[in-house]
Amino acid sequence: MLENKLVAGLDIDLSTYSLGIIRQPTIKQLIELPFDDSDITYPFIAIEQYYSQAKEYIEENKSELDFSRMDCLNPLEMTSKSLISEEYDRDIQINYRDVFIERKKRYSFLEIYFLVLSLFFDCSISDFYINNINGKILITIKDKAIIDEHNIEVLNKVILKYFKIDIDSLLEKKEDDWIENTGSKREKELIKKFKDKERKRREKSILHLCDYINIVVHQDKRNYLDILNWTYFQLISTIEISRLKQSFDIGMRILTTGKGLIKTEDIVDWQKESKLKIDNSIY
pLDDT for 173: 56
Distance of alpha carbon 159 from its chain centroid, rounded?
A: 7
- pTM for the whole thing? 0.83
167: burial class by Cβ within 10 Å (0-12, 13-18, 19+)?
A: middle
Which DSSP category does 141 fall into? Answer: E
pLDDT for 172: 75
CA triple 21-23-26, angle to 5 deg: 175
Residue 187, C-beta contacts closer than 8 angstroms, at least 6 positions apart: 75, 76, 78, 79
pLDDT for 210: 93
Q: What is the mean pLDDT of each run of 10 residues along the chain (283 residues)?
A: 94 96 97 92 95 88 84 94 86 80 86 97 96 91 95 96 89 53 62 70 75 91 92 95 87 77 79 87 85
pLDDT for 145: 96
pLDDT for 179: 46
CB burial of 39-63 (b: ≥16 within 10 Å; e: otherwise) equals bbbbbbbbbbbbbbbbeebeeeeee
pLDDT for 69: 95
pLDDT for 181: 46
- Asked if residue 235 lies in contact with residue 163, where contact means CB atoms within 8 angstroms, the answer is no
pLDDT for 205: 66
pLDDT for 182: 47
